[in-house]
Amino acid sequence: MVTRKCAGCSQLKNRNELIKITRENQHGDIILNPDNKIFGRSVYLCYNKTCIEAAFKKNKISKILKASVPDDLKGKLLNEF
């Protein structure tokens, strides 16, 4: 079992229980839930609104990915999950 830490609540959870957001190495694109064949910096979030809001409020996603996050990403995450 592979565990990862949620950027919103800092809890360790199984990787399958979290949303994965990756900044691709080659193009710098931000990708939601990529397959494991895409390499780059990743951040994980729980599937709940509170963790998504907390991560965006403290700008944690941008800091971890070391990139500017598109404005529509928060809306996309809240609508999709």
Query: In sequence order, what DSSP letters do the residues of 40-76 get, joined into one string?
Result: EEEEEEESSHHHHHHHHHTTHHHHHHTSPPPTHHHHH
Q: Which domain holds residue 32?
A: 3-80
Domain of 22, CATH number, reads 3.30.1230.10
* Residue-level pLDDT at 9: 95
Q: How many domains does the chain have?
A: 1
The angle formed by the CA atoms of residues 61, 59 and 11, to the nearest 5 degrees, is 60
27-73 residue pLDDT tens? 888 888 777 778 889 999 999 999 999 999 989 999 999 998 888 88
pTM: 0.88
